[in-house]
Structure 1
């Protein structure tokens, strides 16, 4: 294996380990020295592979996005749904143990982006665009599709934040909101 391949292999292994760490523990773990120590390397080696902390954060969150895309791909089959039905599905998915760590992480990324923290501001804009695109791809076509997707994302994100702040505070949210958004209507195929 050439040194270029070895370097890329080591960088990829670090990214995978960092993505898993951030999903498990959140962005607070992203201090260079602490992360390096936990991964059995040095902060200088992290900078060697990623050039700066901002590039490291961007690369790690990109890897997290790739992991989430695989999960969402499994939930991207079947007929498109009406907003109420999709919302019920999305709220359940947000609480699923395989997706909940991503939701917690993206809530933090979006909050940091809203405060214009670099590099989170650019990452948050991309994350929101990706979520909106995925939601739109799962909804029945409608003249207000973009608005419907934004409303659903707002509700799901708000639900995540409420549950983080006070677990168990949204038990009837799915039924109530699905009804408000017309879940009882026939879904398109």
Structure 2
């Protein structure tokens, strides 16, 4: 990717940079978001990144928005079909999180949430939207149970915990995910 500040399509160049940075972050993680290193890797300068995005926070937010768009497209296939019980949902999502195509997205969002928990800007603001979007999506995937509603945040907490543990110690959650899903399925059966 060459740097051409005279390009009349500034928005198009910004989109191309966001796309290249999003692919890099999905491959290598949020640690690649340092301005100089990121600029070099996407074929521009740190000055030009600031020119196109306005600030480093806007760059991070733009790249994460692009990653969110990509994940939304992937999740379209998992959003079709009838709602399921919390246990069935958890089993499906934990299995989905091990899919090599989805795994990088899970790692990025878990890292965003961890950075937000440490108070790191702009991740703190991004995480609020991510959590709201995830819990809303989870809510659409669950069978409504007025007698025993399952808070979507409870399922998101399990998924994030399993993902974080797997990131820290690969292979450690191989049995944990299926066991947790089975425990919820048993609880679902008792609820009915």
Q: State the TM-score, normalized to the length of structure 2.
A: 0.89
- Cα distance, 1:146–1:7 mapped onto 2, change above 3 Å: farther
- Please point out which of 33, 38, 55 is paired with 1:35: 38
Aligned residues: 184
- Please point out which of 110, 114, 135 is paired with 1:107: 110
Is residue 23 from structure 1 mapped to residue 21 from structure 2 by the alignment? no
Partner of 1:62: 65
**CA offsets, 1:141-172, max 9 Å, x none?**
12388743111111111111111111111222
- Cα distance, 1:76–1:144 mapped onto 2, change above 3 Å: farther
Divergent runs of 4+, >4 A: 144-147, 183-186
- Please point out which of 147, 151, 175 is paired with 2:154: 151
Partner of 1:50: 53
Check the 8 A contact 2:87/2:183 in 1, yes or no. yes
Is residue 123 from structure 1 mapped to residue 126 from structure 2 by the alignment? yes
Displacement after TM superposition at 1:173 (Å): 2.2
Q: State the TM-score, normalized to the length of structure 1.
A: 0.90
Partner of 1:165: 168
Partner of 2:99: 96
Question: Which consecutive unaligned segments of at least 5 residues does structure 2 have?
Answer: 1-5
RMSD over aligned CA atoms reads: 2.0
Displacement after TM superposition at 1:176 (Å): 1.9
| Higher relative contact order, structure no. (Cα contacts within 8 Å, ≥ 6 residues apart) | 1
